[in-house]
């Protein structure tokens, strides 16, 4: 089986795209789709074993991939890894700033160290990656950057550190789009809502019931898939988005539009079937998060 992308075969032939956090979840899915469309994908992350496993999957499927272990919070390490990619491939055409992480805790319990750790991962690391890709390649050859943020509209209770970092990344996206447009670089963001990704397996088991109930707060009545998120990212990297820059694409099933006082009528499974809004499962290697394996039988195992 191969990735079931909706985009034209060969769309990214000859392109080199970096994906941070490429060893799991949305980053893994994006890497598979880009490789299936002809790109050479460069996977970055802190765990070499997971990166190696995804690169092996991509090659097994007939795609091209390489990987580098790198802590994006380390400025010197970022400079070195981007230089290594440019040395190996002569240019960088795209960057997907996907790496991120947070933990659930109320604001009053977040230490300065914890706050800084989340901001360094979700904001500073993305800035460093984008800056170095620009300085070492894109300012000469152009390119496209997609920053992955989150559903921050309204608030992000329990994850205030992540919300602050993601909001900062939205602002960075808009500023970089203006400053770097003169060099042919487009910068956009994608804000996933509730996505059934392997990243959910990192949350503690006691969060399982809450996670399973969250789908009922989404007007479309379900979680999104990794493939639905990847499709938005790939579109923004593609020539079809050549006049889109400084924008944030939400992929969230209209969840932020839910308002107090308006009766919530989440789409039922029957309605989703009839209206052809079933999950798009283009990723042939997708795995249902463990927390949903018994609760979401319609998703791909």
Give ∠ CA 227-200-100 in degrees, rounded to 5: 80
* pLDDT (tens digit per residue) in 41-77: 999 999 999 999 999 999 999 999 999 999 999 999 9
Name the CA dihedral angle for 248, 254, 255, 257, rounded to a multiple of 10 degrees: 90
Question: Does 246 reside within a domain?
Answer: yes
Question: Does 6 reside within a domain?
Answer: no
* pLDDT (tens digit per residue) in 197-212: 877 777 777 777 777 8
Domain hosting residue 40, numbered range = 16-292
* pLDDT (tens digit per residue) in 246-265: 999 999 999 988 887 777 77
Distance from chain centroid for Cα 109: 28
- The whole-number average pLDDT for the span 81-95 is 98
Question: Does 206 reside within a domain?
Answer: yes
* pLDDT of 39 higher than 90: yes
* pLDDT at 277 (0 to 100): 64
* pLDDT of 298 higher than 50: no
- Band of residue 22 on the pLDDT scale cut at 50, 70, 90: very high
How far apart, in whole angstroms, are the C-alpha atoms of residue 70 and residue 121? Answer: 12
CATH of the domain at 288: 3.40.50.720
**Tokens standing for 145?**
């950057």
Question: Does 3 reside within a domain?
Answer: no
* pLDDT of 275 higher than 70: no
Question: Does 298 reside within a domain?
Answer: no
Question: Does 300 reside within a domain?
Answer: no
Strands 16-20 and 64-69: unpaired
State if pTM tops 0.85: yes
Structural domain count, the chain: 1
* pLDDT at 10 (0 to 100): 97
Question: Does 242 reside within a domain?
Answer: yes
Question: Does 118 reside within a domain?
Answer: yes
Please give the mean pLDDT across all residues of the chain.
Answer: 90
């Amino acid at each position: 089986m191969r990735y079931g992308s909706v985009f034209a075969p060969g769309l990214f032939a000859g392109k080199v795209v970096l994906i941070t956090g490429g060893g799991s979840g949305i980053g893994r899915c994006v890497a598979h789709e880009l490789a299936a469309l002809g790109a050479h994908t460069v996977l970055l992350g802190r765990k070499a074993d997971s990166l190696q496993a995804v690169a092996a999957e991509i090659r097994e499927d007939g795609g091209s991939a390489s990987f580098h272990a790198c802590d994006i919070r380390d400025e010197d390490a970022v400079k070195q890894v981007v230089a290594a990619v440019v040395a190996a491939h002569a240019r960088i055409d795209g960057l997907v700033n996907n790496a991120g992480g947070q933990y659930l805790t109320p604001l009053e319990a977040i230490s300065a160290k914890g706050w800084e750790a989340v901001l360094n991962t979700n904001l500073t690391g993305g800035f460093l990656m984008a800056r170095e890709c620009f300085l070492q390649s894109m300012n000469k050859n152009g390119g496209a950057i997609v920053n992955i943020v989150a559903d921050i509209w309204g608030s992000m209770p329990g994850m205030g550190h992540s919300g602050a970092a993601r909001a900062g990344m939205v602002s960075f996206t808009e500023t970089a789009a203006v400053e770097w447009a003169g060099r042919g670089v487009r910068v956009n963001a994608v804000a996933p809502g509730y996505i059934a990704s392997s990243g959910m397996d990192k949350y503690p088991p006691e969060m399982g019931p809450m996670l399973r109930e969250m789908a009922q707060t989404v007007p479309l009545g379900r979680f999104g898939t990794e493939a639905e998120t990847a499709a938005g990212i790939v579109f923004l990297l593609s020539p079809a988005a050549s006049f889109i820059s400084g924008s944030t694409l939400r992929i969230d099933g209209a969840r932020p539009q839910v308002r107090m006082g308006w009766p919530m009528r989440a789409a039922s499974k029957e309605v989703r079937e009839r209206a052809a809004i079933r999950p798009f499962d283009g990723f042939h290697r997708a795995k249902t998060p463990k927390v949903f394996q018994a609760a979401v039988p319609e998703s791909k195992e």
